[in-house]
Amino acid sequence: MGVLALALVAGCGSGGGDDSAAAGDPNAEFTFWSFTGIGAKDSVDEYLAKNPDAKVKLSEVGSTTETATALTAALAGGEVPDLVMIQGDDLPKFVENPDNFIDLRTLGGDDLADEYLDWAVGGATATNGSIVGVPTDVGGLGLAYRADLFEAAGLPSDPTEVAAAWSTWDDFIAMGETYTAATGKPFVDNVETSVFFSTVNQVTEKYYSDDGEIIYDTNPQVADAFDVAVQTYDAGISANIAAWSSGWDPGKANGSFAVTVAPSWILSGIKTAAPDTAGDWRVTTVPGVGGNWGGSVIAIPARAEHPEAAWEYIKTMMSAEAQTEHFQSTGTLPAAKEALTSEAVLSYTDEFFGNSALGQVMSDSVLDFNAYYNGPDTSAIGAGLLNALVDMQNGNVAPDDAWDKGVQNVKDALG
């Protein structure tokens, strides 16, 4: 590994601590705030196995939003952690104030960013060039589908053939219409996450222009992405079962739908929800060009008591080699370029998904992903548009009015 193997820069900024020796001790006990549900304890255990002298006080704060809220409060004057995870949707608000964090270039060198996907580290880079966080993972997109249900409907079921059959979103909708006509059942679980989250992340400009101007309501790429979701709904091929709703997990098991969006981190959830469908699922590429949903960075607040100990964790666990190892044990897709192109990732398959080329699909998805600027209200804008699609599926908004409803949702949220 290159930059992450560099020695720590002496005398990096610390907000206090027991004394200067403790602050500079790479094995001092450091506090680590993470989200729940991502196996943070497993990661810490991996670190302690590599560095038995280390001491980590892990706190799984809550959801990604709850963790970001707690961090905001701590940065405003409370006690900050030494190390913290920040989910991608929450990141822009923190990057706006880079002085709240140690510029990780001061610890890992000016070429630190070269190790990771350009767009992933770009999202953690402030306008002054400061790198607020190192990418821990990304959420490469695929679509998971029931091969057995496809075959019963007379559709192709091999992942390569399916990818060719739905190479565009128009093709995807047409394939869904064929499936629904043959089976009398919905094709896709919903349009807000399985379609809109995919299409809107394939743009070259999203809710902001490259210079930071809000353009969600005038950007034709966003309107077109939204319209694909509306067209999918109009085609009558959606089960209208929202992600994480009470019917979503049962639907994976009982065939209420045949297709669902499958970012890398969601695959384990399919296995947990529908264990009796092992071998029936396949995963292939989404229509269009790549995509990403998810991913986080790991950062060190400027007032951290033990920044060197926190950096030792980053240096050890965020290297390409370590991210590859973590992928092999958990399926968490690396953000390090060397890891994404490693044989371990590219050759990864899973019998549950019919030995689909999961690693290749997910790696290609993020390597092909278009970079665009995310601003501080990206998450709120996306939620406003998505909620309009949910209202449409619930019968509360007519399809022709859904876009205007989404724009109004955003305006109400932003004030």
Q: Give the residue extent of every domain in the chain.
A: 3-138+293-345, 143-292+347-414
Alpha-carbon distance 81 to 99, whole Å? 15
Alpha-carbon distance 370 to 412, whole Å? 29
Interval 122-128 mean pLDDT? 94
Same fold flag, 3-138+293-345 and 143-292+347-414: yes
If residue 10 lies in a helix (H) or strand (E), which one and from where to where? none
Strand partners, 298: 85, 134
pLDDT, mean over the chain: 92
Local confidence band at 290 (pLDDT 50, 70, 90 cut-offs): confident
pLDDT of 14 above 50: no
Does residue 68 contact residue 87 with C-beta atoms inside 8 Å? yes
What the block records as the tokens of 35 is 């989200």
Please state, in angstroms and as integers, the Cα–Cα distance from residue 102 to each residue in 82, 130, 304, following that order: 10, 8, 9
Does residue 50 contact residue 70 with C-beta atoms inside 8 Å? no
pLDDT of 7 above 80: no
194: left (phi over 0), alpha (psi -120 to 50) or beta: alpha
Interval 276-298 mean pLDDT? 94
Nearest CA-CA partner of 306 in 55, 41, 108: 55
pLDDT in tens, 136-182: 999 999 999 999 999 999 999 999 999 999 999 999 999 999 999 99
Residue 344: Cβ within 10 Å count:
14
pLDDT of 18 above 70: no
- Sorted by sequence, the CB contacts under 8 Å of residue 181 that are 6+ apart come out as none
pLDDT at site 389: 98
Indicate the pTM of the whole model: 0.89
In CATH terms, 143-292+347-414 corresponds, of 1.20.210.10, 3.30.720.110, 3.40.1180.10, 3.40.190.10, to: 3.40.190.10
Local confidence band at 88 (pLDDT 50, 70, 90 cut-offs): very high
Interval 57-82 mean pLDDT? 96
- Sorted by sequence, the CB contacts under 8 Å of residue 167 that are 6+ apart come out as 287
In CATH terms, 3-138+293-345 corresponds, of 3.40.190.10, 1.10.1240.10, 3.30.360.10, 3.30.420.40, to: 3.40.190.10
Burial of 218 (0-12, 13-18, 19+ CB in 10 A): exposed
